Every structure is written in C-alpha cells, then in structure tokens.
Amino acid sequence: MSAAVSDNDVMMDEAKRNESFEKRSDDSNNICKKIFEAQGRLVEIDGPVRICGDLHGQFPDLIRLFAQGGFPPDSNYMFLGDYVDRGAYSLEVILLCLSFKARYPNNFMMLRGNHELAHINDKYGFREEIFTRKGEFAIPIYEEFTVRGTFGQTDRCTLGFQKMFDVMPLVGLIGGRILCMHGGISKQLKSLDDLRKLRSPFNLEDDCLENDILWSDPGKGSTGWQPNPRGASVVFGEDAVIECCKMLDIDLIVRGHQCVQDGYEFFAGKKLVTVFSAPHYLGTFTNNAAMCKVSAGLQVSFEVLIPEDLKVEERKMGPESTAAEMTQ
C-alpha cells in the first residue's frame, strides 16, 4: 500500500470517529439548505474548477479525489450529484460534502442527482443505511416524515436531508460556456433563463425539464428524442446535443449519471462528456474514475484515477485546448 493511500485511510478513519463531524451534521444540513436556496437552481461560476461525477457512497475514493485535486478551499469543485446510495459510506460522503459546502459556499458547488430523491433512497440503500447506523450517528440528522418501509410497515424517520435535497441546484454554468448537470438535456430547454426558473421542489410524475435534467441520457446512434429504457425521461441523440449547444451558445455539456469505463466519455463530437468519479464501481466493475479539470481560461483536461493501483493520470485534450477548441 502506498504512503498516500495509507494516509488517506487514516484520514477516513479520523473522519468517521470525529465526534464533532457527526454532531454538526444537522447544522450543516440547515446551513446548506439556506445556501442552496440563496444560490438558486442554476449556479454560475468561473474557472478554475474540478468537476466530479457520481460518488455513490465510496468515501475512500472521495478522499483520494481530494488528495489528487487538492482539498477545499485550495481547489474549487463542482459535483454533479449522486452522493449517496449503493456504496457503504453514503453518510460519510454526504456529510463531508455538506461540511465543505457550509464552510466554503462559493468554492464548493453541489448539484442534485437522481439519487437525491426520497423514493430512490428508499430503494437503493441510503434510507437503509440511516436505520442501520442511526446508533452510530446518534443525532437528529433528519426531520420527521412518514415513509412506507421496505417490508410494508410505516416508519417514522428523520429525513431532513430530503428537504435539503429538494432545494439543491440542478445546473451549473462555468465561464458562461460549460453547462453541467447530472443527467442531461431536454427538448423543453430553450434558453438559459429556463434553467434559472427551474422549480423547487417539483412533481416527480411530471414530464418536465427538471426530471430530464436528472434522468436523461445520450444515446449512441439515436437521433432526436427517444423513450428512455430507464422508464424515466428520454434518450437524446447527437443532433439534439449540437442543437442545444448552439441554442444556448455554449461549448460543452458535462454530465454524470452513467458509469463509463475510462471515467469519462465523449459524445456528439466532443460537445458532451460523461464524467464518473467512483472507481471500481460497486466493487465489481473495473472502471476508472475521472475529474474534469477546467482552468481559468476554460482549458479542459481530465485526471483519471485507475482502480488497480490508484495511479492518477492527467489526460489533456491538446495544448491549451479550450472547450470551444475541442469541437473544432
């Protein structure tokens, strides 16, 4: 085991044992809710910034990402959502991210993913983790509300996270040219003002822009807008991406939502890139993780975390390549 990995493991253990880290989670929740409400559904920032995709409770890998990219506030970050579910350490991941958000609200951006939804948490593990570990985190993390339990019983649990999730930003814009979201684009998206007017909360049953931003996917070989095999939202083609970039006057769309083998994957002539930041996903996949690094001048490169030896490679798109130049 390398010294860097050993140090990261020590940091993870300290974070898990740190009493104040646990006891302040309720405060972080409330503070971040107010910050999210103030920042709005579309957050607009400048570079430099590192963009990270899905984490899914893989806390050791989150620490490794910070070790590579720099811990806040030394580096700025934008996360694309899906902090929780599936992995074993969803609480550590979301609480650490919220702590950084509360401490550095203008340096640490958090977008909402489709796994920041109550019914998804009920199905994919976050809610179960709360019940399993509530003795370990003996604090009122959640605000009471009634949910239908997995085995049919009605449980009273504290889910203040859900009220905080409801007001998280859905979209980020970097330097006016790079658009970020969890899922993808929508045929209902016509202007950046549409993103500034996104509803919060919104009806999950609606065929709406908000749901598409959380759930839509690019489709290889697809054109236009097609039904999504997930059963939610749509699949969009390369033509839809190119038209969207032209209509919004942007150069690049960065999204998460899908595990890709190399940690990042381009689509539509490098007008869109999928970024996934959970290496060795679920302990069964062999995928790399990636961060998209955007400079102050909007030059784009990728830092790739390889799961076998935790080596990090930096892959540039060419000398001083900006998002605009990548598509030329």
Three-state SS letters, 13-57: HHHHHCHHHHHCHHHHHHHHHHHHHHHCCEEEECCCEEEECECCC
pLDDT tens profile 117-127 = 988 988 998 88
Q: In the Cβ-directed half-sphere of 128, how many Cα atoms lie within 13 Å?
A: 12
In terms of average pLDDT, the best of 6-10, 34-38, 84-88, 179-183 is: 179-183
**Distance between CA 55 and CA 278 in Å, rounded?**
5
What pLDDT, on a 0 to 100 scale, did the predictor assign at position 200?
Answer: 76
Taking the model in full, what pTM does it have?
0.84
What DSSP state is assigned to residue 92?
H
Quote the crossing angle between the two packed helices 90-103 and 25-39, to the nearest 10°: 60
Distance of CA 323 to the CA centre of its chain: 20
pLDDT band with cut points at 50, 70 and 90 for residue 311: low
Distance of CA 212 to the CA centre of its chain: 15
pLDDT tens profile 185-238 = 999 999 999 999 998 777 766 688 999 999 999 999 899 999 999 989 999 999
Instruction: Catalogue the active-site residues.
Output: 115
What pLDDT, on a 0 to 100 scale, did the predictor assign at position 258?
Answer: 98
- Token pair of 108 as six digits: 């640490």
The arrangement of secondary structure in 20-326, i.e. its CATH architecture, is: 4-Layer Sandwich (3.60)
56 backbone dihedrals φ, ψ, rounded to 5°: 50, 50
List Cβ neighbours of 143 (8 Å cut-off, separation of 6 or more): 158, 159, 160, 162, 163
pLDDT band with cut points at 50, 70 and 90 for residue 133: confident
Distance of CA 235 to the CA centre of its chain: 19
